[in-house]
Amino acid sequence: MANVDQDDLMADAILSRKENPGVVSLMLNNRAIFWGSSLLFVFVMVAILAPLFTADPVSINPINRLKPPSAATLFGTDFLGRDIFARTLYGARISLVVGIAVAIIAISIGLVLGLVAGYVRVLDAVIMRTMDGLMSIPAILLAIALISLSGATLGTVIVAIVIPEVPRVVRLVRAVVLTVREEPYVEAAIAAGTKLPLILSRHILPNTIAPLIVQATYVCASAMLTESILGFLGAGIPPEIPSWGNIMSEGRTYFQISPWIIFFPGIALALTVLAVNIVGDGLRDTLDPRIARKM
């Protein structure tokens, strides 16, 4: 050891110049994220700007009932003569609002519960058994029950979809917390006298962000689908507000003579869910360092 002198120390001390590419540039380089979010952007813009280039989605015109797609009515009309194009565009608002709201609410609740369950051992069993209980309730049935109890409003629909999504988020967060809490840097923070809230927010929370963003996209996609299913079953948003689900529901009876009533909102729903899922896959690949390194 006598031959290790200060020069050797400094040689080891020369810092490497490794830099990680930023998250943003990684995302721009990922084709899935690029195409998925471009498609989503188009849908969002269409939903926002719908009034600029469509007719009133609820105005009834009995003379033009069940007209096939034409230059005047791009997607045709339904059994009350309402313009399907306008209704589909306005329906995007409901789908996107439900998808995004459910994702944000479910992730927020799930994050808090998951952090607590993962870190505070005493509460773990209580929270997780409750979540197991929630998971055993069929989502659609719960939604129908809630809506029949408190009326079909946008809020009720969102709450009804959030409840069964929360346990999935809790499980995910808890799993991450359980792994990270054993990391030596967390133990070092405990040894340094860092208080619990700071340990959670500073050392543990950041590790959950990447998986949560990915989970959020899946929650969002599945919420949009559930909303449409509820609408289709007649248990969703009230029929006076167009949503993709209830447009299709109303078109069901006329499917054989005027299939466009179901076709166009169906395509819109499929594309939106696809776009969200593609973004989710892209984010998973980018944010998971093990996969990202291979790209």
Partner 1 sequence: MSDTVLEIKGLTVRLPEGADREFAIEDVSLTVGKGEIVCIVGESGSGKSVTAFTVMGLIPKKDLVPVAGQILLQGDDLLKKSDRQMRKLRGEKMAMVFQEPMTALNPVVKVGDQIGELLEIHTNMSRAARKTRVIEVMKDVSLPDPEKMYNSFPHQLSGGQRQRIMIAMALALEPGLLIADEPTTALDVTTQAEVLELIKDIQRRHGMGVMFITHDFGVVADIATRVIVMQHGKVVEQGTRDQILTDPQHPYTKMLIGSVPSLTPPDRPEPKAAEVALEAHKLNKVYGTSGFFSKGRVVHAAQDVELVVHRGETLGVVGESGSGKSTVARCIVRLIDPTGGDITINGANIATMTEREMRPYRQQIQIVFQDPYRSLNPRRTVGQSIVEGPMNFGLGAAEAQVRAEDLMRIVGLAPEALDRFPHQFSGGQRQRVCIARALAMEPKVLIADEAVSALDVSVQAQVLRLLHDVRERYDLAMLFITHDLRVAAQICDRIMVMQHGVVVEQGRTADVYANPNHPYTKSLLAAAPGRDMDFARLA
Binding footprint of partner 1 on the chain (CB under 8 A): 1-4, 6, 8-10, 12-13, 15-20, 183-185, 187-195, 198, 202-203, 206-207
Cα dist from 167 to 34, 45, 74, 151, 217, whole Å:
30, 32, 42, 25, 16
Nearer to partner 1, 26 or 140 (CB): 26
The minimum distance between CB 18 and partner 1, in angstroms, equals: 6
**Of the candidates 239, 231, 233, the residue with the CA atom closest to the CA atom of residue 82:** 239
- The three-state secondary structure class of 83 is strand
Q: Which residues contact 181 (CB under 8 A, 6 or more apart)?
A: 118, 119, 204
Residue (141 or 198) nearer to partner 1, CB: 198
The amino acid present at 295, given as its one-letter code, is: M
CB of 2 to partner 1, least distance (A): 7
Q: What CA–CA distance (Å, rounded) separates 217 from 238?
A: 26
Structure tokens at 285: 């690949």
Nearer to partner 1, 17 or 62 (CB): 17
Q: Whose Cβ is closer to partner 1: residue 142's or residue 189's?
A: 189
Q: How far apart are CA 80 and CA 281, in angstroms?
A: 41
Comparison of 62 and 197: residue with beta carbon closer to partner 1: 197
> Which CB, 63 or 192, lies closer to partner 1?
192
- Please state the closest distance from residue 29 (CB atom) to partner 1, in A: 14
Shortest Å distance, C-beta 12 to partner 1: 5
CB of 152 to partner 1, least distance (A): 44
In the complex, the smallest distance separating the C-beta of residue 290 from partner 1, rounded to whole angstroms, is: 14
Q: For residue 98, give every residue at least 6 positions away whose Cβ sits within 8 Å of its Cβ, in sequence order, or none.
A: 154, 157, 158, 161, 223, 224, 227
- Tell me the C-alpha distance between 179 and 199, whole Å: 14
Cβ–Cβ under 8 Å, residues 76 and 69? yes
